[in-house]
Amino acid sequence: MAFMIEPKELLAERLESYYLEMNRVNYSQTDSIITTTMSMFQYMIGNVDFSIVGRHNVKLLVTKDYLNQELIPIPYDFDYSGLVNAFYAIPAKKINIEEVTERFYRGLCRSDYLYNVVLDIFREKKDEIFSFIESCEYLDKKARNYVLSYLSDFYDEIEYKDFIKRKIRPTCG
């Protein structure tokens, strides 16, 4: 088994953007919907091993559209996520979780309206995500069932009416 990483230059070209090398980044420089979507994706897969501000496991792109110069965060390196659940993965001490399989939201605090816009994106993609996993020939049955169960838990969780209040607000930054 192996994994591939798309070269950053090809990714930038495909997304009609430029790759940026920046050491200091602020959330206010990023596109709010894309950044919140990325943060919710990280929550969905149970990944806390990233930082936009610290540029940890996140690349930055900026669109070629000169009218929209907000930064686009691109996450990578998911081996410490609960979805992967690697035998060596342990949560960082500064994060208040015992196991990497526990979800912890590390995104910026946003309005409930924006969170709901983003959650609707995930709801719209649910069937596509599950179909992809079910058709993945490189996952054995046990791994496939684990991944489907882990993601099902996320989708069940976001349907609770107090999801944002209970799970997102207490840990957003």
Q: Give the CATH number for residue 79.
A: 1.10.1070
pLDDT band at 1; cut points 50, 70, 90 = low
**Roughly what angle, to the nearest 10 degrees, separates helices 141-157 and 112-134?**
160
Residue 40 lies in a domain: yes
Q: Which of 147, 40, 157, 36 minimizes the C-alpha distance to 101?
A: 147
Residue 158 lies in a domain: yes
Amino acid, single-letter form, for residue 66: Y
- Average pLDDT in the chain: 91
pLDDT confidence of residue 5? 84
Angle at CA of residue 107, ends 125 and 128, nearest 5°:
10
**What is the SS3 assignment for 47-89?**
CCCCECCCCECEEEEEECCCCCCCEEEEECCCCCCCCCCCCCC
pLDDT band at 168; cut points 50, 70, 90 = very high
Mean of pLDDT values over 16-33: 81
Widest pairwise Cα distance in the chain: 48
pLDDT confidence of residue 70? 81
Amino acid, single-letter form, for residue 20: L
Percent over 70 (pLDDT), the chain: 98
pLDDT confidence of residue 28? 74
Residue 123 lies in a domain: yes
Residue 31 lies in a domain: yes
Write the DSSP assignment of 83-124 as a string of letters: TT--TT----TTS--SSTTS----S----HHHHHHHHHHHHH
Residue 3 lies in a domain: no
> Which one has a higher pLDDT value, 32 or 43?
43
> Which one has a higher pLDDT value, 71 or 100?
100
Residue 2 lies in a domain: no
Token pair recorded at residue 35: 């950044």
pLDDT band at 26; cut points 50, 70, 90 = confident
Structural domain including 111 reads 8-168
Structurally, how many domains does the chain consist of? 1
Per-residue pLDDT of 54-84, as tens digits, reads 888 998 888 888 887 788 899 999 999 999 9
Token pair recorded at residue 150: 């882990």
Residue 103 lies in a domain: yes
Token pair recorded at residue 95: 């994060």
pLDDT band at 158; cut points 50, 70, 90 = very high
Token pair recorded at residue 171: 């840990």
Residue 90 lies in a domain: yes
